[in-house]
Amino acid sequence: MSLLRFLGLEKPETATGETDTVRKIARELDAMDATQARYIAAFAYILSRTARADLHVTDEETAVMERIVREAAGLPEQQAVLVVQIAKTQNLL
């Protein structure tokens, strides 16, 4: 994370990728059953509390989180990826 971003001084146009990610997540949650979407959002919220404890999530950590979410929650791979993406995005925002 850049110092400008940490201080909230980064130019808005650099956050476009994050906005697109949030829109993608919202579309995927909207397409789900409401109960399942709430479960995934809650799971992601809890995961987000620890995902960036060191302010950085590596690709290896992401893969491990996805595997753990699949195994612990019994979610299909696509939904496990969504949970981890929500958790990572939540910490960026």
pLDDT in tens, 2-14: 655 655 666 555 4
Q: What is the pLDDT of residue 71?
A: 92
Q: What is the pLDDT of residue 67?
A: 92
Q: Report pTM.
A: 0.63
pLDDT band at 63 (very low <50, low <70, confident <90, very high): very high
Phi, psi of 37 (to 5 degrees): -65, -40
% of residues, the chain, pLDDT over 90: 6
**Higher pLDDT residue, 66 or 2?**
66
